[in-house]
Structure 1
Amino acid sequence: MRINNYLGLLAVLLVFFTSQTMRSQVDYSSTNFNIELKDAAFTKSANLPVRINTILDEFWIVSEEQQQNGFVNLIFDLSQSSVNLEDNVQLIVSENPEFSNYMNFPGELNTQAQTLTFSNIDLGSNQVYSLAYVNELNGENQIDFNGIDRYIALDKSFDLHSEFTVSAWVKIGELKEMAILAKRDNVQDKGIFIGLNQTGQIKLEFTDQSVQQMISNTVLPLNKWHNISIVYKDGNATILIDGMLDSIQEINSPGLNSVQVLLGASGEQSVDHFFNGSMDDIRIWNRALDAQELAFFMNQEIIQVNGMVNGSITSSHINSDTSLIPWTDLNAYFSLNRISGNCLVNHSENLKHGQLFNFPNSSLHTQTAPMPYKTISDGNWDDVQTWLNGNSISIPASESIVDMSTRVGWNIVQIDHNVTINNNNELRNLSALMINGSKLTVTGSNATSTGMGLEISNYLKLDGVIDLEGESQLIQPKGSVLDPASTGTIERDQQGTADNYTYNYWSSPVGSVNAATNNNPYTLPQVMHDGSQDITWLTSGYDGSAGSPVSIADYWIWKFANQPGGNYSGWQHIRSTGMVNVGEGYTMKGPGSGTINDQQNYVFKGKPNNGTIALTIHSDNEYLIGNPYPSAIDAKQFILDNSPLSGDLGSTTGTLFFWEHYGAGTHSYSEYQGGYAVYNLSGGLPAARYIPAGSTNEVSVGENTPGPYIPVGQGFFVIGKNNGQIEFNNGQRIFKPESDESVFLKSTDNTIEEVDNRPKIRLGFDSVNGVQREILITQDTNATTGIDFGYDAQLYEDQIDDMYWLIADGKHVIQGIDMINADTVLPLGVHTQTDGINAISINSLENFDENLDIFLHDKVLNVFHDLGQSAYTVTLDAGAILDRFELTFKVKSTLSLEDETINQLDIRYDNSNSMIVIKNPNQVDINSVTFYNMLGQPVFNNSEIGLADNLKYKVNNLSTGAYIVAVSTPRGKETRTVLVK
């Protein structure tokens, strides 16, 4: 029996049923075609075929003296019959009166005329047809092939020639050469074969007179569901297994033929290569899908929405990285959710259905392929007993059978039970996750700073709980959606200071919960807890207290939202009752449960924030904001997303400021010890440190240098560059445990440095009053010698003593520059509160040119001090000094023997004997020795020296401070800075 699109002979057959008689009229244009009515006396099988309730006693036999390439329309007038038209009455056609392996066709009912019309039916010679009540099976099914005689015949017009994709879920039952899909005749001179070889590898054969073969690298295991995809385009065939690329091979396109496509077998007149196993969700596309599109739809059925292909769970409109696919690009879609008689319904638009051969009802089962993955009991994620049909599927997000070093990262999972994931410090990726009234625990430890990343790339429906233990994080990348109707929560620990007197700058990764919107404003009692208990918020007094739960003095809860910079009155006192917008930061002190070095754990509970979050900022205003997500964010990406490069004027200056409170032991603002660490595109700097002489306060020297990642719950300041929006978005989110991050909520000793190959100089300043400041210069081709967005960081807070780069008369602690060479001159500014000794030194060099020496030029003394040899110590008067110091550079030259001899001079000051001591082991000829104070005034000079190996000169009545000893030789001048105590 054939069905094709060629319309040749058109015969209209009118069959009239009355209560007394039945007759047929045949209108035909060729005497070679005839239809004969058989009455009830004609012997017909008494056994009903599978999925048939009743067959009419009457049936018709077609005779064809020669093959006709045409169709007929059959019109049954049932107005006088007892046939119930409300039932599923269909035309059935078979090669025999037993109606085995029949074909069935639904008709078009005219309720007014009581006629049933079957159009474009291709009837072959000796075929038998009648009307029957057909059973229809609906639901999520799979179909089992016995490897003996079962197969599914599809239309012969499917184009598997130039560009196509074939995909299906398969579970193989034995190792033998067998077909999954084939379109080739028994001569096998043209066509395509997709199947398996005797070892369980996927086998492709493209034939056009000669056979081209392709074998997968991967062996499919027995009795396990796997999704296979074959993609052909531009002369290349690709095999993917579970969405993972197995192999790609250049291969000529298969030849065209006019035979049927078979599922589970191969051939035409003689069918062979029968498949043994199960299949589900078979799709044939007339386009080449890419790996991302295949992965997106792999664990879900597909539906049509506004003419486009959508997932039944996740819409293709969700993720902007997945292109929209027209439904017309789908040639065939057999979900197995609807089987009517022997008709396997094709859900694509072309309605070319499949015919089942030799499939009893026992071969049709409830779906066991993971469409999607579903839990069946409480348990561990990696335990097969946790999952529905766990013994016949791979664990979701487990290692790919294609590459065991790579996990499948696009599964769709539905959790209806309490499940635990405990793979430490790994990232598990899913396409979609639905949690229904249950709890998913992602294990980790606060003590060891360990945890897991759970990434949901497309869709999250949260009607339960996700417990992110330790450093575990929830990541939703760009395009990933949190269903606004979600009513569940996440729990995420974070640690702040336990000290009563010390601020942390916070930001919540969750908002308040409702069933309509995401990213909702909150008050602190709604989101911040002490473990499973509510914090006791003290509305009077200034001190919190330890206990269970802890008590927090809400007097210290403030925010600074888009206020003029430097304006202390701009702080907004919100206490525990004020609303905080998602993305805003707030201050809070600890409960007094420990010292400044101790940690207090808190638990954020609420609806996780997700997607784009925007806050308005005005030019020159400052805003205390913070990471709004339950994952780390990439600081660089955040800066770039708020830069002129992002398409607008750039809302911020491109620098982030992180408060670090490291001492004081008091609530008095004037006695706070702390500062702002800094990060921008040039790198990070620790906060300036102030250690007053004889201090008895708790002091933990600020040592945290910001890295490129901002941890969960971290607040920080930005400065407005232009009127605009501060934007957070999912493209900034990343999984980074805090051992890899910029950490300010708590200290860590195992921070892993970012790999950054740019040359950097970290210059240190140790002041007379105990201030320690580090400033940074970074060589980057994106920067200039002027002020550049994101590369130059202004001095955010003046310490009593400080040092900074001078760029365009502005004070900066970070400077980016396109090139550092011998011609580079970098002006430095310094100010001190009191007179005294200060030191400038190189704290560290990173990737710096070893052939370049770094000098501090003291223009007052006209001294170039080699900072690579030692710090430059200088006595300074109180006040600002903006034109005395600069950093310069010099290319190292190869030293002659005389240069090496001069460098061996040992010049020092003996404070106990008030003497200049010069050790000259090589007896260099010395012309003079001069002693200068830091004002450039000589306080001692001796020009009568000559050759000597040990020189000592008494210098009395010197004030305490730094001095320069200059030794003049015929080869040049050597200088040393010495300290007189």
Structure 2
Amino acid sequence: MKINYLLTLFLLGITAQAQMYVSPNSYVFVNDQYVFVTQDVNLNAATSNIYLRNNSQLLQGTTAVNGANVGLGALSVYQEGTVNNYQYNYWCSPVGASNATVGNSAFGITQLGIPSTNLDTRSYTTASILPIGNYNGVSANGSLSIAPYWIWTFRSSTLYSQWFQIASASTLAAGEGFTMKGTSGSDTFTPFTGSGANNPGSKQRYDFRGKPNDGTINNSVTNGTFTLIGNPYPSTIDINLFLSDAGNAALINGTAYYWEQAVVNSHLIASYQGGYGKYTIGGGYVPADIWSYNSDGTYNVDTTVNGAVYQRRFPPIGQGFMVMGTATGSVSMKNSFRNYIKEGAVNLSEFAKTSGKATNSPNSVYDPNSEFFPEIPNLAGVDYTQVRKTYAPQIRINTKINETGIIHTALGFGDQYTDGFDYSGDARATSDGAPASFYFVLDNQPYEFAMSLAKFDIDKKYPVGLKSTAQSNFKIKVGDLLYGFDPNQQVYMHDKQTDVYYNIKTGEFDMTLPAGDVRDRFEITFKENALSTNDNSIADNFTVFQNNDGGFLTIKNPKAIALSNCVLYDISGKVILSKTSLGSNLSFEYSTSGLSEGVYIVKLTTEKNEVVAKKISIFNKK
């Protein structure tokens, strides 16, 4: 069956059971709906067009590698950036060049434009491409100028120097992601479909026009490197289907990395502030750590800017993201990953936005009274009404380093997870090259992990690492409890060296450590050790205090409990004083007059191998 569109049509929604053919001097206009075509789309002539407006999308069911669409006409669909002329968004075009060749085509920014009137959203003005030496894109009523210098892609590398400049060339393969900075200025034209102004300020609308991408789209990855890809279709996709695809799972680490950038109005790399948020199937999205950078693209310092929480389950049209390879091959985007979700945070579909376009749309996935999705049109045959919307119950842990930025991490739980690496549950961090980090340590894994999912056991201890290239202060506390984690459960940071437990739910872990990478000293626990300072049967038998006027440490032992040793540590865990075979004296005193001011840990061990650890503060010594 072939459906011919020989007349001008204004559609509320349609399903084409086979091919969609749009004849010369005809167009299909879709408003607030989706079109599903089981086979190819033929835009026969340059005057054959499809216009997707007001959250409209195109779904296709072909399985051809590199697609089966053809034609000199164009599909037109809007997407808005979220940055000004100094910051980047990561993109992936939903269209390629219009031509008579069957299959997907390469894309270039010369295919971008803007709606040119507020009366007819078929009309548009092609963007002006500025000279390569002009770094500032500009938006104005009726015009759009793009700075091609900022169009780059990243093909299987870990080095900043390996970004590849595309500029205005039409050489971006289908499915290949790219960077693009936004524009300065504003454009108050508002298309009548109710989608807002073209650019109210730092939110440029782009009209993507060309042959719509479809079918299986492959992009190369290699072991241990990042590749910039994205959603290549004029519809949303389910990122969980992409990550769980068996072929993809054999080639990547199961995490999608999304760039977030703070507003710093400079084109200098040394002024950039940004980082990568991480999404996995099991854990959801962990916000980015926002770093500043050196001129060679390496990390400098973690900034005071806090990464935001975005809804990443259904990447919208145009969304780009990174993947990390674990083997050499080609990851695949497939039509079967496509679905119809209207963009907006409430629908778990955000293009780096803090608020969505559609808050109460008919297919909204948000229902406070249901843990399951509603029906969602899709090509994989998924019954979303049987799919839960939440992720693993988890603790979000925030680490402040040197009183500046925050490292975001998550520790989640489920019976299906292990202490080792779990694909698309555990999220490898991007902080390997950072000067400081807090991370989770997994069994038999040398890498740093920003998200760790494991089986919950209240008696279990979950190892964490602290790293710094110079002496650094770490302040660690629970930031949030999500997806049903017990709000009454206490959470501790345990220092195995000093045997001190820090309640990081009601307080914080505060410690200054020397340069180094410590992977075997600290752990997250849910109970204090039975022999710790909170065990009244042991700890309350001793009184430990610092006499700062006299400059000595006093230990009172009124019950004459036999002690095997006493160790004094500084806050970094360095042994300052060690005494053995103490016996059962009623009192002990040790000079502290030569010690620096600060917090110290006193650790007592009885002859029955019972342990008591207490903090003291040394200051104002004579």
How does the TM-score come out when normalised to structure 1? 0.47
Q: CA deviation at 1:764?
A: 1.6
Counterpart selection for 2:154 from 543, 560, 573: 560
Q: CA deviation at 1:787?
A: 2.3
Residue aligned with 1:545, SS: strand
Match of 1:24 in 2: none
Cα distance change, pair 702–516 in 1 and its aligned pair in 2 (3 A)? same
Match of 1:613 in 2: 217
**8 Å CA contact retained: 2:511, 2:571:** yes
For residues 978 and 669 of structure 1, the distance between their equivalents in structure 2, rounded to whole angstroms, comes to 43
Match of 1:803 in 2: 438
Which string of whole-angstrom CA distances, capped at 9 and with x for unpartnered residues, describes residues 520-565 of structure 1? Answer: 112210245575112221222323334352322211111122x3x3
Q: CA deviation at 1:839?
A: 1.0
Cα distance change, pair 610–860 in 1 and its aligned pair in 2 (3 A)? same
1:169-180 equivalences under 5 Å are: none
Q: CA deviation at 1:456?
A: 0.5
1:494-513 equivalences under 5 Å are: 494-513=79-98
AA aligned to 2:308 is: E
Residue aligned with 1:716, SS: strand
Which string of whole-angstrom CA distances, capped at 9 and with x for unpartnered residues, describes residues 487-510 of structure 1? Answer: 432222212244222111111001
Match of 1:544 in 2: 137
- Indicate whether 1:417 and 2:8 are aligned: yes
For residues 619 and 892 of structure 1, the distance between their equivalents in structure 2, rounded to whole angstroms, comes to 42
Counterpart selection for 2:36 from 440, 456, 464: 456
Match of 2:518 in 1: 881
1:846-865 equivalences under 5 Å are: 846=482, 847-849=484-486, 853-865=490-502
For residues 422 and 79 of structure 2, the distance between their equivalents in structure 1, rounded to whole angstroms, comes to 35
For residues 701 and 783 of structure 1, the distance between their equivalents in structure 2, rounded to whole angstroms, comes to 29
More RCO (CA 8 Å, sep 6+): 2
Counterpart selection for 2:76 from 467, 483, 491: 491
Cα distance change, pair 478–641 in 1 and its aligned pair in 2 (3 A)? farther
Q: CA deviation at 1:635?
A: 0.9
Residue aligned with 2:253, SS: coil
Match of 2:344 in 1: 738
- Indicate whether 1:689 and 2:273 are aligned: no
Residue aligned with 2:244, SS: helix
**8 Å CA contact retained: 1:584, 1:625:** yes
For residues 717 and 608 of structure 1, the distance between their equivalents in structure 2, rounded to whole angstroms, comes to 22
Match of 2:404 in 1: 770
AA aligned to 1:587 is: T
1:932-947 equivalences under 5 Å are: 933-936=570-573
Q: CA deviation at 1:691?
A: 8.2
Q: CA deviation at 1:843?
A: 1.8
Cα distance change, pair 757–675 in 1 and its aligned pair in 2 (3 A)? closer
**8 Å CA contact retained: 2:596, 2:618:** no
For residues 979 and 420 of structure 1, the distance between their equivalents in structure 2, rounded to whole angstroms, comes to 77
**8 Å CA contact retained: 1:690, 1:772:** no
- Indicate whether 1:627 and 2:231 are aligned: yes
State the structure with more CA Rg: 1
Match of 2:552 in 1: none
Residue aligned with 2:38, SS: strand
**8 Å CA contact retained: 1:663, 1:698:** no
Cα distance change, pair 455–546 in 1 and its aligned pair in 2 (3 A)? closer
AA aligned to 1:590 is: G
For residues 712 and 434 of structure 1, the distance between their equivalents in structure 2, rounded to whole angstroms, comes to 23
Cα distance change, pair 977–637 in 1 and its aligned pair in 2 (3 A)? farther
Residue aligned with 1:811, SS: coil
Residue aligned with 1:824, SS: coil
Which string of whole-angstrom CA distances, capped at 9 and with x for unpartnered residues, describes residues 630-674 of structure 1? Answer: 1111111111225476xxxx2222221111111432222233210
**8 Å CA contact retained: 2:80, 2:203:** yes
Residue aligned with 1:599, SS: coil
AA aligned to 2:166 is: I
- Indicate whether 1:576 and 2:168 are aligned: yes
Gaps of 5+ in 2: 117-123, 187-198, 294-299, 360-364, 372-387, 550-558, 562-566, 578-583
Cα distance change, pair 839–958 in 1 and its aligned pair in 2 (3 A)? farther
Q: CA deviation at 1:961?
A: 6.2
Task: Choose 834-843 or 845-854, whichever is displaced more.
Answer: 845-854
Q: CA deviation at 1:570?
A: 2.0
Residue aligned with 2:185, SS: coil
Q: CA deviation at 1:772?
A: 1.0
AA aligned to 1:441 is: F
Cα distance change, pair 819–890 in 1 and its aligned pair in 2 (3 A)? same
Residue aligned with 1:731, SS: helix
Cα distance change, pair 495–415 in 1 and its aligned pair in 2 (3 A)? same
How many residue pairs get aligned? The number is 528
1:708-719 equivalences under 5 Å are: 708-719=313-324
Counterpart selection for 2:53 from 462, 469, 475: 469
Match of 1:388 in 2: none
Cα distance change, pair 533–718 in 1 and its aligned pair in 2 (3 A)? same
**8 Å CA contact retained: 1:688, 1:702:** yes
Cα distance change, pair 832–979 in 1 and its aligned pair in 2 (3 A)? farther
Q: CA deviation at 1:731?
A: 0.9
AA aligned to 1:657 is: Y
Cα distance change, pair 622–516 in 1 and its aligned pair in 2 (3 A)? same
AA aligned to 2:59 is: I
For residues 86 and 200 of structure 2, the distance between their equivalents in structure 1, rounded to whole angstroms, comes to 8
**8 Å CA contact retained: 1:642, 1:654:** no
- Indicate whether 1:761 and 2:395 are aligned: yes
Match of 1:442 in 2: 30
Cα distance change, pair 898–828 in 1 and its aligned pair in 2 (3 A)? closer
Cα distance change, pair 644–712 in 1 and its aligned pair in 2 (3 A)? closer
Match of 1:747 in 2: 354
How does the TM-score come out when normalised to structure 2? 0.71
Match of 1:838 in 2: 474
Which string of whole-angstrom CA distances, capped at 9 and with x for unpartnered residues, describes residues 463-508 of structure 1? Answer: 4433223433222246599863444322222122442221111110
For residues 493 and 222 of structure 2, the distance between their equivalents in structure 1, rounded to whole angstroms, comes to 39
1:106-185 equivalences under 5 Å are: none
Cα distance change, pair 898–714 in 1 and its aligned pair in 2 (3 A)? closer
**8 Å CA contact retained: 2:310, 2:353:** no
Cα distance change, pair 856–662 in 1 and its aligned pair in 2 (3 A)? same
For residues 109 and 60 of structure 2, the distance between their equivalents in structure 1, rounded to whole angstroms, comes to 24
1:644-659 equivalences under 5 Å are: 650-659=250-259
For residues 146 and 164 of structure 2, the distance between their equivalents in structure 1, rounded to whole angstroms, comes to 18
For residues 975 and 729 of structure 1, the distance between their equivalents in structure 2, rounded to whole angstroms, comes to 59
**8 Å CA contact retained: 1:836, 1:961:** no
Residue aligned with 1:653, SS: strand
1:512-523 equivalences under 5 Å are: 512-523=97-108
Identity, % of aligned positions: 28
Residue aligned with 2:527, SS: strand
For residues 691 and 669 of structure 1, the distance between their equivalents in structure 2, rounded to whole angstroms, comes to 9
Task: Choose 737-746 or 837-846, whichever is displaced more.
Answer: 737-746
**8 Å CA contact retained: 2:271, 2:292:** no
For residues 528 and 409 of structure 2, the distance between their equivalents in structure 1, rounded to whole angstroms, comes to 23
For residues 460 and 595 of structure 2, the distance between their equivalents in structure 1, rounded to whole angstroms, comes to 36
AA aligned to 2:504 is: L
AA aligned to 2:509 is: Y
Q: CA deviation at 1:892?
A: 11
AA aligned to 2:147 is: A
**8 Å CA contact retained: 2:90, 2:259:** yes
Match of 2:378 in 1: none
Residue aligned with 2:242, SS: helix
Cα distance change, pair 698–972 in 1 and its aligned pair in 2 (3 A)? closer
For residues 979 and 414 of structure 1, the distance between their equivalents in structure 2, rounded to whole angstroms, comes to 84
